[in-house]
Amino acid sequence: METKKRGESTWIARVERWKKSGKSQRTFCLEEKCSFWSFRNWKARLAKSRREERTTPFVELPILEAKKTVPIDLMRITLPCGILIEIGSNASIARIKAILQIARSV
């Protein structure tokens, strides 16, 4: 699994370098000494992955029951489109990042 992730991160970086290079795909691949067809396949795979991420705007998050005797402070975030997001102050950084990442794609 580690090797697969490393390979994916290598191709993500390579595609980003190509985008910034202003070169044709063929020229870029010749200079990088990588297969043009592998480059095309990875570019398509990564683009599909990004499209799927954008078309899945909701992530199921477990709801934690709060004790009724202990009030939970809420963080309130209002998006420019008018959506209000309320997050319990005890939410983890990972959960907040996930919520904001989803909100960015709305």
User: Tens digits of per-residue pLDDT, 79-106?
Assistant: 777 777 788 777 788 888 888 777 776 6
Residues 6 or more apart from 57 whose CB is under 8 A from it? 102, 105, 106
pLDDT digits (tens, 9 = 90+) for 12-66: 999 999 999 999 999 999 999 999 999 999 999 988 887 766 665 666 666 666 5
Long-range contacts of 6-15 (CB under 8 A, 24+ apart): 11/42, 11/46, 12/46, 14/39, 14/42, 15/39, 15/42, 15/43, 15/46
Task: Find the length of the chain.
Answer: 106
- C-alpha separations of 48 from 14, 45, 82, 103 in Å: 16, 5, 29, 20
